[in-house]
Amino acid sequence: MQPEIGKIYDGKVTGITKFGAFVDIGEGVTGMVHISEVANTFVNEIKDHLTEGQAVKVKVLGVSEEGKISLSIKKALPAPQGKNANGRQGGKRSDSSKHSDSGRGSAKGRNNSAALKEPPTPESAFEDMLSRFKASSDERMGDIKRNIDNKRRNTSRRR
């Protein structure tokens, strides 16, 4: 049996490690749930959330070339009430995204209408966040370099 990516399966926890849990999803097919994919909250000890032999629902995240199956328990669960897919309260922006425009009135970091039609994948959301950070960082570094150059020019004029 080849599991379908994105499909939810009923499984049984067969083993627990520090970094995750192994889950049998049927017909002898076993995948791994990383500790970060166990619950919607921070998981310090996986044994606080799972036990061997426990029945769980898991979503297939991916299958590697070596045949390793990546699973998620938290993505198989319904979304928590009052929060969006990122786990944030709806309608609010995080502190990091509030300042990504640097107050310069640019369109960076703003959603356009095309982005609202399709929900972003975790990869594209990360890529968007990374590109906003890089642009903001480059802008700040440019400001710092200009300030340093100005100070150097002013110091050399005084001599």
Note the pLDDT tens digit of each residue in 4-24: 889 999 999 999 999 999 999
Q: How high is the pLDDT of residue 24?
A: 93
Answer yes or no: is 131 within a domain.
Answer: yes
Task: For residues 20 and 53, state if they share a domain.
Answer: yes
The ranges of the chain with pLDDT < 70 are 80-123, 156-159
Domain count, the chain: 2
> Same domain for 61 and 111?
no
pLDDT of residue 148: 87
**Angle subtended at Cα 12 by Cα 7 and Cα 16, rounded to the nearest 5 degrees:** 110
CA distance 34 to 41: 13
Q: Which of 16, 40, 72 is the last residue of a domain?
A: 72
pLDDT recorded at residue 120: 59
The pTM (predicted TM-score) of the whole model is 0.50
Range of the domain at 36: 8-72
- Average per-residue pLDDT in the chain? 77
CATH of residue 17: 2.40.50.140
